[in-house]
Chain A
């Protein structure tokens, strides 16, 4: 990948995704640079989530390549991609509903944990020691997203806004280098969104690169270093939030009225 800038962490090149006869994403090319927050925006059906799913291995790309720090992602399974440090959240709220909040985060700590099956069966002391460390780490992560008081609650009893925080906590537990957030604040009220933006700022300080798909323009313009705008499977603009806001094609395709309202 000599032609790409050294700071590019994730390179998506000519990505094409088709569902039967429908082309969801066509020739999509963009890069995510180390340490930035990049937002992917576009109207519903523009192919944002499809691109997300292809990058994280949930669907297969029909063409193009995705490279993370020199490793080709095409054909890898989701768990292998997670091991590389790409961890995602889901558009539809996705937690382990039947488990407690603490257990949810413990599930997320799977890659941090190093227990081997035989060590577990023989009950080696290293397993017990690690269990305590994992619990402490889980509490720390819950504190980070502001759910300390909810550790023993059943996930199913959390209010909606806190469920979405729990999703982020689970993803953070997997120690991402690149965090992919799929509409994290959809359905949140303005104050919940504001506090989520604060958490996102804290996440940046942890040296985690963020790829964000979001409809909330106030949030996108507030947190992004760069914005990529998609329409009907194609990239129509790529630039800083200010450039995007000034781009006539973006305004025509998508932002227009909505953004004016958000500004107001």
Chain B
């Protein structure tokens, strides 16, 4: 039944561009999808290893900038008389490079920050994001600073002049984001249901016990950071080649906060949590706008809803729904109290 539900859900998502002819809504869905990918990547760190990265948007922005610069080409003076320039590369290569570079930054941050965990990790990640933002803002020769990188090429896949798919229009971009999203979901799912994911969960739940059975703390935290950063970077490359303009505002703190809200309200440490949270908090501002709620009220509603979710469903929406579903099913079983059913099932 679970498999059927997943399939139905996927078919529904894949069918959206076929019946939805409002391009603005499709645009909102694409942006939501990009944010869902970023939220899923954050969930791997926050939900499974328990480490809060409050600079997660840095990886997103690094992916966007690296991919843009690779595909636009650049010429920059590293020393007064030493100029480094690069010719434009194909977009697929830029996206791959953006993902890899974001992953490398994740590795560096992981190595650096996991010597000092908890609150220090939060501080290191915030500082890191701020430094990267200032670099993007001030290294005008490379990044154009606040003038932004313009005319970023869109993705083309296939053999030039024989068969090529151009990801210029919205439906194509929708499918691209959907495909990357599904890929990221599958990778995270495989990771958390394996030795690596169990090690991460073990560290989150009880670090001394985890190391007593041989779990290498640093190794698995760094693995989680690398995968998480690379996925956030991939989301950034999708953003860059879809919106086709990137400025230092992609590093704004509010984006990290949005990702954290998506993860926590959806249910951290669950696979579906960031997807549900991401869809709700990605679409909500648009739903409110179309309901003619004045802009000032939109953010108030947004905030109140967030507080309600965190207050009444501290575990998040997905675990709450799951518990409710399980208890309802247990209650439906005739004449056997809920507790006894679970016990009997386990015997």
Contacts of B346 in A (CB 8 A): 149-153
- Residue interface mask A63-92, B partner, CB < 8 A = 1: 000000000000001110011000111100
Would you call B214 and A115 a contact (CB within 8 A)?
Answer: no
B87 interface residue per 8 A CB criterion: no
Q: Could you tell me the dominant secondary structure of chain B's interface residues?
A: helix
Q: How many whole Å from B219's CB to the nearest CB in chain A?
A: 9
B216 interface residue per 8 A CB criterion: yes
Contacts of A203 in B (CB 8 A): none
Which residues of A does B touch, CB under 8 Å? 56, 58, 77-79, 82-83, 87-90, 94-99, 103, 106-108, 110-111, 113, 115, 117, 120-121, 123, 127, 131, 149-153, 170-171, 173-174
Would you call B214 and A110 a contact (CB within 8 A)?
Answer: yes
21 contacts between A and B (CB under 8 A): A79-B211, A79-B214, A79-B215, A82-B211, A82-B214, A90-B208, A90-B212, A95-B206, A96-B202, A96-B206, A96-B209, A107-B202, A110-B213, A115-B194, A120-B191, A121-B187, A127-B194, A131-B193, A149-B346, A151-B346, A153-B343
B89 interface residue per 8 A CB criterion: no
The chain B residue sitting closest to A176, CB to CB, is B213
A173 and B343 CA atoms in complex are apart in Å by 24
B217 interface residue per 8 A CB criterion: yes
For chain B, the bracket of interface size reads: 20 to 34
Determine which of B201, B213, B223 lies in contact with A108 in the assembled complex, contact meaning CB atoms within 8 Å.
Answer: B213
Determine which of B196, B201, B227, B345 lies in contact with A99 in the assembled complex, contact meaning CB atoms within 8 Å.
Answer: B201
Would you call A121 and B214 a contact (CB within 8 A)?
Answer: no
Contacts of A110 in B (CB 8 A): 195, 198-199, 202, 210, 213-215
Would you call A131 and B194 a contact (CB within 8 A)?
Answer: yes
| Given contacts A96-B201, A108-B213, A121-B190, A113 and B195 within 8 Å (CB-CB) | yes
Determine which of B195, B210, B213 lies in contact with A115 in the assembled complex, contact meaning CB atoms within 8 Å.
Answer: B195
| Given contacts A97-B205, A151-B346, A152-B342, A174 and B214 within 8 Å (CB-CB) | yes
Q: A96-B206, A107-B210, A174-B213 are in contact. List 8 more A-B contacts (CB 8 A).
A: A90-B208, A94-B206, A94-B209, A113-B195, A127-B194, A131-B193, A153-B346, A170-B213
The chain B residue sitting closest to A121, CB to CB, is B187
A56 and B212 CA atoms in complex are apart in Å by 8
B3 interface residue per 8 A CB criterion: no
Contacts of B213 in A (CB 8 A): 82, 87, 107-108, 110-111, 170-171, 173-174
Contacts of B193 in A (CB 8 A): 131
Contacts of A120 in B (CB 8 A): 190-191, 194-196
A117 and B223 CA atoms in complex are apart in Å by 8
Q: How many whole Å from A249's CB to the nearest CB in chain B?
A: 33
Contacts of A58 in B (CB 8 A): 208
Q: How many whole Å from A46's CB to the nearest CB in chain B?
A: 22
Would you call A90 and B209 a contact (CB within 8 A)?
Answer: yes
Would you call A111 and B214 a contact (CB within 8 A)?
Answer: yes
Cβ-closest 9 pairs across A and B: A82-B214, A152-B346, A78-B211, A111-B214, A174-B213, A113-B195, A96-B205, A115-B195, A120-B194
A226 and B202 CA atoms in complex are apart in Å by 35
Contacts of A111 in B (CB 8 A): 213-214
| Given contacts A96-B202, A121-B191, A115 and B211 within 8 Å (CB-CB) | no
Contacts of B212 in A (CB 8 A): 56, 78, 82, 87-90, 171, 174
B347 interface residue per 8 A CB criterion: yes
Q: How many whole Å from A173's CB to the nearest CB in chain B?
A: 7
Would you call A77 and B211 a contact (CB within 8 A)?
Answer: yes
- Which of A79, A111, A113, A121 neighbours the largest number of chain B CB atoms within 10 Å of its CB? A79
A174 and B206 CA atoms in complex are apart in Å by 16
Contacts of A152 in B (CB 8 A): 342, 345-346
Q: How many whole Å from B38's CB to the nearest CB in chain A?
A: 19
A79 and B193 CA atoms in complex are apart in Å by 21
A98 and B206 CA atoms in complex are apart in Å by 10
Contacts of A127 in B (CB 8 A): 190, 194
Q: How many whole Å from A59's CB to the nearest CB in chain B?
A: 11
Contacts of A89 in B (CB 8 A): 212
- Residue interface mask B333-346, A partner, CB < 8 A = 1: 00000000011011
A117 and B211 CA atoms in complex are apart in Å by 19
A173 and B186 CA atoms in complex are apart in Å by 28
A78 and B212 CA atoms in complex are apart in Å by 6
The chain B residue sitting closest to A149, CB to CB, is B347
A96 and B210 CA atoms in complex are apart in Å by 9
Q: How many whole Å from B195's CB to the nearest CB in chain A?
A: 4
Would you call A99 and B208 a contact (CB within 8 A)?
Answer: no
| Given contacts A117-B223, A174-B214, A95 and B209 within 8 Å (CB-CB) | yes
- Which of A56, A78, A96 neighbours the largest number of chain B CB atoms within 10 Å of its CB? A78
Contacts of A56 in B (CB 8 A): 212
